[in-house]
A = this chain, B = another copy of it.
Amino acid sequence: MAEENTVYIGKKPTMNYVLAVVTQFNSGSNDVIIKARGRAISRAVDVAEIVRNRFVQEAEVKDINITTETLENEAGNSANVSSIEICLSKRSEDLTDLA
């Protein structure tokens, strides 16, 4: 149900994901969740910071969670990989709409 507000960070250029998050906000979402695993975690933080500082100034970091996921590779071996979820949230609209 929150899936439609979720942006998964992969290996594309950072600005692709920034655009995806901004589009979510502009289509009426008040919360957007940015998810990433492994090396993409750094990019997820970049995306959150760029959105917040440059494009959606009224957005703030509501919550950040880190966890470990166990993945299985093609050979059947399992590997642990860290993941992050960053929840960006717009502050109450009645305030920001006056600006």
Number of copies of chain A assembled together: 2
Among A53, A61, A68, max chain B CB count under 10 A is at: A68
For residue A45, CB closer than 8 A to chain B, the reply is yes
For residue A42, CB closer than 8 A to chain B, the reply is yes
Range for the number of chain A residues in contact with chain B: 20 to 34
Per-residue 0/1 for A45-71: is the Cβ within 8 Å of any B Cβ (1 yes, 0 no)? 110110001000000010011111000
B82 touches A49 (CB 8 A): yes
Pick from B40, B61, B68: contact of A49, CB below 8 A: B68
Give residues of chain A (1-56) contacting chain B, Cβ–Cβ below 8 Å. 38-42, 45-46, 48-49, 53
Nearest-neighbour CB distance to chain B for A61, whole angstroms, equals 6
Nearest-neighbour CB distance to chain B for A78, whole angstroms, equals 14
Chain A: residues with CB nearer than 8 A to chain B?
Answer: 38-42, 45-46, 48-49, 53, 61, 64-68, 80, 82, 84, 86
